[in-house]
Amino acid sequence: MSESEIPGIEAASETTLTDTSEFDDKPILCIDCGVNFIWTVGEQAFFRDKKLQNPPKRCKECKQAKNERLAAIAAAQASGVRQRIEVAVNCAKCGETTTVPFYPSQGRPVYCRSCFLEMNPSILNGNGAT
């Protein structure tokens, strides 16, 4: 057995970028408002502590706004009050992003207003008779 591997490969020249501390404040782009926010060292440690795999996606404000939105929906459902909702979906026909005032059930196609009217012209005419 002759292992002829040459161990003489030089270690990559020292980088000055190497972190000395385990964590560093990280800027993350908020998916809601598109603004960079800082994922602080403390929060990163917290995440690691909780064994969370995914870094946060929203800044504090957006996270709070989202929680309030969910809370408002939950409260409305609990009180039986129907709330106007808007859900962003992609039209199954033309692919345009549109909003619908309901939560579409999975697997059911949702259409934008123009495609919907195109397929149901009688709605525009009022009377379906020709």
Q: For binding to Zn ion (CB under 5 A), which residues are involved?
A: 30, 32-33, 59, 62, 91, 93-94, 96, 112, 115
CB of 6 to Zn ion, least distance (A): 53
Judged by CB, which is closer to Zn ion: 33, or 75?
33
Closer CB to Zn ion, 62 or 89, in the complex: 62
The least distance separating Zn ion from the CB of residue 8, rounded to whole angstroms, comes to: 51
71: Cα within 13 Å, side-chain hemisphere: 6
Distance in Å, CB of 23 to Zn ion, minimum: 22
3-state secondary structure 83-128: CCCCEEEECCCCCCEEEECCCCCCCCCCCCHHHHHHHCCHHHHCCC
The CA-atom distances, in angstroms, between 127 and each of 9, 20, 124, 130 are 83, 75, 8, 8
Is residue 28 exposed (0-12), middle (13-18) or buried (19+ Cβ within 10 Å)?
middle
Question: Cβ 90 to Zn ion, closest distance in Å?
Answer: 9
Cβ-based nearer residue to Zn ion, 77 or 120: 120
Q: Which two tokens stand for residue 35?
A: 């603004």
Nearer to Zn ion, 42 or 109 (CB): 109
Q: What 3-state DSSP class applies to 47?
A: helix
